[in-house]
Amino acid sequence: MQTIYYDLRDTKGQQKEIEDKISAAAKILREGGLVGIPTETVYGLGANGLDGKAVKRIFEAKGRPQDNPLILHVTGPQWLPRYCADIPPIAYVLARKFWPGPLTMILKRKPIVPDETTAGLDTVGMRCPNHPVTLAIIREAGVPIAAPSANTSGRPSCTTAQDVLEDMNGKIEGVVDGGPCTVGVESTILDLTCEPPRLLRPGGLPLEDLERLIGHIDVDKAVTTPLKEGEQPKAPGMKYRHYAPKAPVTVFTGAPDASAREIQRRVGPTSGVICFDEYAHLFQGQEVHTLGPSGDKLAQAQRVFDALRTFDSSSVTEIYAQCPDNRGLGLAIGNRLKKAAGFHVVEADSHRIVLGLTGGTGAGKTSALNAIRELGGTVIDCDAVYHEMLENSQEMRNAINAKFPGVFDQDGKLNRQKLGQEVFAQKDRLAQLNEIVFGFMTPELDRRMESAGDGLFAIDAINLLESGADRLCDRTIAVTAPTELRVRRIMARDGITEQYARLRISAQKPDEYYRGKCDCELNNAADTPEAFQAEAKLFFTRLIETITEEKRRASK
């Protein structure tokens, strides 16, 4: 069979030509054929979901086990009552908010949906994909499109039309190219036939977004743990070994610096590495696929399948993969990596908890750090570490001397005034100094915590986010406070005028900056430092509980 390629990457061009291609794809589907279709998550392998014979061909083309049901793709909530029974009102609440988008809802099915589509279950998965081309194809076909991910069963999912051709060329009637997928991991699957709703598969729509709208959601065990012999997951597909390259995969969880270090300990000449961009330079002798910056989960989601796919045709003997934390898209990315690894997971820093604190002057960082000390934590003051390193770290001193000749005098003493004059007069000189200092600082902080052993640490740094020290942290926390309170506090603390206090605050980054970039915020509106310290202690206690629970789950 010849697979026809329809290029629909550009939908702004010749409208007639575009409509013709969409009609052609819809026609194939209506007549019982198979078409690879783009969605925002991954490419799907579509067939008319009401045509049992057509659906059967999907299973043959993919080599998919017969007991694994398919999702029906529709163009909006108005399609739900045609195929689903006993629809709870919450389904419409969710659809209104998140459709079109990466959410699949499991609902009771009506008899019109054939057994081939649902693999005999009395429920059916419903999804409205957020891709204009596929929405137009479904509308034109006038039938719901049953579509699993377009990969051969067991292989990583396809995020480009080229991937689909690699797996399906000659086996299906057509492939529609709608460009690379913008989300990169499959839809989130939520079972609405139980109470509370249950997450069967984490995906492109974060669990937190769902819970914010509808409250608590149970997370199915199959999401985070391997199944025992004979155990049946609620989403049949979750039981199969998935996404797996030929070489065995080991996944490393924990703060990115710690997981990179663990991988570094293990790599040999024939190991492959999947890591965040910042760590690629550590693995120069290895075949490396990067996932994107450690702080950019959307980039990681877009690249995770490609990284796994590429290793499929490589001769590495084992693959070590860095894994993001479980928050936001991280839960889905981690789930795909762990499934590829058969849940072979190493928790890199299971007994260390690192909190990064940052924020402007007068907000209450000192009280917050006291609360950490009360909880038995060790506080690392980056400013102090910097000054120690200026004295003791020959490497850092050499690096500074190379860029700022003459700032060290003959007997090696730093002329602070001279350095200060240079960097405060010129922004790019300050950036150069920071680049040097930050490069030495983060590994030094890591070493200090390593040699201190397990336990709780707080990193206190005004430049926490700029220096990269946030990559050592389980959570970054913005300590903020209303400006008027800050003004009064600084005046009392430092015995300065109101005008000068305001000047100092306005010379710093605003609270919104820290609030927007940190994982969480600790806002200080308390009347006294003691009251704030008590509040902070409670806040950290809860946060530490959450992180401990996360680490426990991640390492299982």
Of the candidates 534, 518, 532, the one whose C-alpha atom is nearest the C-alpha of residue 473 is 518
Nearest approach, Cβ of 474 to ligand TXA (angstroms)? 30
The stretch among 146-154, 302-310, 336-344, 414-422 that binds Mg ion (CB under 5 A) is: 146-154
Contacts of 208 (CB under 8 A, 6+ apart): 327, 328
Shorter beta-carbon distance to ligand TXA: residue 100 or 377? 100
Give the angle 68-80-30 at the CA atoms, nearest 5°: 70
Select the span of 1-9, 118-126, 388-396, 408-416 touching ligand TXA (CB under 6 A).
118-126
What is the token pair recorded at 94? 């969710």
By a kind-dependent CB cut-off of 5 to 8 A, residue 295 interacts, out of ligand TXA, Mg ion, none, with none
Let me know the angle formed at the C-alpha of 201 by 551 and 38, rounded to the nearest 5 degrees: 125
User: Is residue 41 at the binding interface for ligand TXA, with CB under 6 A as the rule?
Assistant: yes
Tell me if 433 contacts ligand TXA by CB under 6 A: no
Q: Which two tokens stand for residue 446?
A: 């890591």
Residue 507 CB, shortest distance to Mg ion, in Å, is 53
> Rounded CA gap, 222 and 339, in Å?
10
Q: What is the DSSP string of 360-427?
A: -TTSSHHHHHHHHHHTTPEEEEHHHHHHHHHHH-HHHHHHHHHHSTTSB-TTS-B-HHHHHHHHHH-H
- Please state, in angstroms and as integers, the Cα–Cα distance from residue 424 to each residue in 369, 416, 427, 465, 495, following that order: 29, 12, 7, 20, 25
Rule CB under 6 A: say whether 144 interacts with ligand TXA.
no
Cα gap 153→149, rounded to integer Å: 9
Residue tagged 């007068």 (tokens): 362
Pick 198 or 289: Cβ nearer ligand TXA? 198
Q: Do the beta carbons of residue 456 and residue 353 sit within 8 Å? A: yes
480 binds ligand TXA (CB under 6 A): no
* Stretch 209-248: interaction string toward ligand TXA, x if CB under 6 A: -------------------------xxxxx----------
Token pair, residue 533, equals: 């310290």
Asked if 302 is part of the footprint of ligand TXA (rule: CB under 6 A), the reply reads: no
Among 36, 100, 148, 364, binds ligand TXA (CB under 6 A): 148
Choice from 106, 244, 456, 462 touching ligand TXA (CB under 6 A): 106
Tell me the window of 120-128, 274-282, 390-398, 538-546 that interacts with ligand TXA (CB under 6 A).
120-128
Question: How many chain residues are in contact with Mg ion, going by CB under 5 A?
Answer: 1
Question: H or E stretch including 98?
Answer: helix 89-98
Smallest gap from residue 310 Cβ to ligand TXA (A): 20
CB-wise, 187 or 476, nearer to ligand TXA? 187
Q: Tell me which stretch binds ligand TXA (CB under 6 A): 69-77, 252-260, 392-400, 496-504.
A: 69-77
* 3-state SS, residue 7: strand
Residue 177 near ligand TXA by CB under 6 A: no
Name 520's Cβ contacts closer than 8 Å, sequence gap at least 6.
475, 476, 477, 478, 543
Counting contacts by CB under 5 A, is residue 149 touching Mg ion? yes
Q: CB of 27: closest distance to ligand TXA in angstroms?
A: 20
- Per-residue tokens: 239: 């039981």
Residue 200 contact partner, candidates Mg ion, ligand TXA, none, CB within 5 to 8 A by sort of partner: ligand TXA
Of ligand TXA, Mg ion, none, which one sits near residue 187, judging by CB under 5 to 8 A according to partner kind? ligand TXA
| Residue 172 Cβ vs ligand TXA, minimum distance, rounded to whole Å | 14
x/- mask, ligand TXA, residues 178-197, rule CB under 6 A, reads --------xx-x--------
Is 250 one of the binding residues for Mg ion (CB under 5 A)? no
Count of residues touching ligand TXA (by CB under 6 A):
31
Burial 177-207 (b: 16+ CB within 10 A, else e): bbebbbbbbbbbbbbbeeeebbbbbbbbbbb
Going by the DSSP 8-state scheme, the letter that residue 285 receives in this structure is: T
Question: Which of 75, 104, 476, 480 forms a contact with ligand TXA (CB under 6 A)?
Answer: 104
Q: Which stretches of the chain bind Mg ion, using CB under 5 A?
A: 149
Q: Which stretches of the chain bind ligand TXA, using CB under 6 A?
A: 39, 41-42, 44, 68-71, 102, 104, 106, 118, 121, 123-125, 127, 129, 147-149, 186-187, 189, 200-201, 234-238
